[in-house]
Amino acid sequence: MSDCPCCSGRSYEQCCEPLLLGHARASTAEALMRSRYTAYTLAEIDYLYKTSGPRVRREFDAESSRKWAQSADWQAFEIRQSEGGSPQDSEAMIEFVARYRIEKADFEHHEIATFGRVEGEWRFIDGKMVTPPPERREAPKVGRNDPCACGSGRKYKKCCGQSAAGAEA
């Protein structure tokens, strides 16, 4: 018995395997989300298609999905937030992060996924990437003609800004 790739803490045989083999259906949106991550780790692209909603199926590119899944060394999966998705619900939202490595470079796929019931089964409906907020400057910007912050009394462009301009060239 091996640990399930979805990081649930359960064995693969008791967690995602029955879903991927078609022996069971996901009773919650989270179970479906975890099984879809596991499908990526195993490059089970047919399962990804099968568990997608109608619009996602129309846009689904199996070959690109397969190439991405196979090129990645899947590292970890984390659910950050979840709303709805119980056996009694018809909709759900799950924010998750999937970590993977491609050619020694580490990546994070951070997404808010929506799920819904289609013909009584949980399906992936849509996803929106979560991007980090833009970096904000803490200190005010120093203009080229402002006095240099080092206290020399010279203009920034003729003092400390000169070395910065030389580095850009």
Structural domains of the chain ordered from first start = 17-129 (3.10.450.50), 142-169 (no CATH)
Cα separation, 44 vs 56, whole angstroms: 16
pTM listed for this prediction: 0.78
In terms of Cα–Cα distance, which of 110, 130, 124 is closest to 29?
124
The shares of helix, strand and coil residues in the chain, as percent rounded to the nearest 5, are 30, 30, 40
Per-residue pLDDT of the chain (169 residues), as tens digits, is 689 999 999 999 999 999 999 999 999 999 999 999 999 999 999 999 999 999 999 999 999 999 999 999 999 999 999 999 999 999 999 999 999 999 999 999 999 999 999 999 999 999 999 987 777 777 777 777 888 878 888 888 888 877 554 444 4
